[in-house]
A and B are shown apart, each in its own frame.
Chain A
């Protein structure tokens, strides 16, 4: 079982790390963390200075709200009774869109990767659809679905679908043929080859696709929530633009950024849990 052996080895390895090396590692990790926090603080300070001094040289900061103003708006947002509705509605749309995208794209990608015929049939239309931006889909998304909620989920789904699909195809196609031959020579059937060679072999690539897809789902949340606004962080951002409420726009942008980063990270985390051998290989390098 290829899934089990490395995980044991990995457990073995971590128990054999000498104490000195472990503390050095955590020190390095702390230093990196500190470095990142410092960079973030410097970035915020630079932004504040640029807004306050009304910096303008090609990029004009005169009308860009300063971090202090944004922080104030963020505090007001968090305290507003609608904050939870905005965030939860968007999270639900993104999550449902993402799960549906994965459910469609992974099997399709594996199929395309394994069957030239299927690739010939579906790849061209998909390649034509792929570069179409989400915002261009809005009218059709509205016409195609009976509720606006479904239209919004569809737009989020579109974002995640293609990166997952392409990564899955890539993962299957780039599988080392020697592994398949080896399995075959040991008498493995088609099902075994798929479950124990092809799928685990493509999994790292699929997880990468899922991580990117999750990011793009959030990328499209503003676009999706143009469809019908009432609650949703994308709608909140869009409404703030309509109402010329610039600090709130930045609050919305930052929330989308943080939620997007967080959900991509969790996809990556859970993906790695699925393939301990991969983590092992990664660390050994």
Chain B
């Protein structure tokens, strides 16, 4: 008590002297792993604090930084609209829904889409999974089955497109139900559904946790998906410098992840509850979805297409002008202040390249190399190809070392795959990995189609000879 009274006095005095604190309330999606550079990383490493201005207009400013995490975009939109958040991160679909809701509220404020966080130009990141013991290996086999997806999400659009591509009518041929990721996970375990489509990181997380198998990636649809950052127009008009400061913090987070993906994956895993191995699948080199801060024309187009899809689903009555909704001036300013070349990045579509030295031979390896994350090791090991990777797995087994995760890359699409739940085709000594069984079967015409266990066994037998 004796200590409390002076403390309270000091607090109230400090409050009286200082100007009203400026609120910067940021809505994040901690579990949506590809947005890590906008949420958990700058929050936990206090990067925003580092870039907030304390000069000129902000000489005496006191900042009240608030971070709130949401499982998906819609509740985040709700709080943006209620002015409980100033900045929020979400995918193309909820971004449009939020903008439409702001328009309907007609209170003189709107949202501005100011930067990207991550994107799959070809659609990587969304995926379709089935229960681990399901015999289903392709989307076409889902005819007459129950498939769940969070309705109104970027994964919903992917699923509709994928069904159409497979010649299935989303209304007549399958029973589509809406399930959030957490609910979908439980439903896969209990077999209440035959398949579940979802956004980052669930099509990787569920297989990694051992109860599901991925049968299709968004990449096969070519339907762009992206997550980005939005700000309320009233906040952006009043404090444009703070918006830029926040974006600089996200750019630094992006750089930190790029420079040390293993360490940051561990940390992001700890902060968000998503296994670090899965975080690494997205944020490591040649990740499933590329981190990207630029507003690529494909991303803007995806936002427009999201609106078209929602119109078709009769979920949007009063459309918004997407061109006016997206504004790159803040991210350009942030990039400039950090000395980044925004225009060069805008034209650059390559993910962080996978390069390094083969763990055994030391020769330089690149795109398509195998990766093994061994427990207790700070860096992921690289191996030049699939047989070398499997040989290493067999050795590690004998040494009694625990493998956290193994990645190979799809022969056709280059997509990063969790090695133990995909298909392999042998051509002589070489092994090629495939996510889709049908693609593997096609390639297997002059080779043989193998499962992970069979492929490993063959490598072992071959090396024993």
Q: B-contacting residues of A (Cβ < 8 Å)?
A: 54, 60, 62-63, 138-139, 142-148, 151, 226-230, 235, 239, 241-246
Contact = CB atoms under 8 A, between A and B. Distances in A.
B97 interface: yes
B82 A246 contact: no
Interface string B122-159: 00000000000000000000000000101110000000
Given A229-B177, A239-B178, A244 B192 contact: no
Contacts of A146: 190-192
Given A142-B187, A242-B74, A244-B77, A229 B179 contact: yes
Given A62-B107, A139-B186, A148-B192, A243 B152 contact: yes
B101 interface: yes
Given A139-B186, A243-B74, 8 more contacts: A62-B105, A143-B189, A146-B192, A228-B192, A239-B152, A241-B74, A242-B74, A244-B97
28 contacts: A60-B82, A138-B186, A139-B182, A143-B186, A143-B189, A143-B190, A144-B190, A145-B190, A146-B191, A148-B193, A151-B192, A228-B183, A228-B187, A229-B151, A229-B179, A230-B175, A230-B176, A235-B178, A239-B178, A242-B97, A242-B150, A242-B152, A243-B74, A243-B97, A244-B74, A244-B100, A244-B101, A245-B101
Contacts of B151: 229, 239, 242
B315 interface: yes
B177 A148 contact: yes
B270 to A, nearest CB: 23
Interface of B: 72, 74-75, 77-78, 81-82, 97-98, 100-101, 104-105, 107, 148, 150-152, 175-180, 182-183, 186-187, 189-193, 315
A138 B179 CA distance: 12
Given A63-B105, A228-B178, A148 B187 contact: yes
Contacts of B105: 62-63
B347 to A, nearest CB: 34
A196 B75 CA distance: 55
A120 B97 CA distance: 54
Contacts of B101: 244-246
Contacts of B189: 142-143
B255 to A, nearest CB: 34
B177 A230 contact: yes
A100 to B, nearest CB: 19
A55 B77 CA distance: 21
Contact of A228 (B98, B179, B315): B179
Nearest first, the 3 closest Cβ-Cβ pairs linking A and B are: A244-B101, A229-B178, A142-B186
A176 B107 CA distance: 63
A245 B193 CA distance: 27
A230 B81 CA distance: 27
A233 B177 CA distance: 14
Nearest to A147: B192
Contacts of A63: 81-82, 105, 107
B113 to A, nearest CB: 16
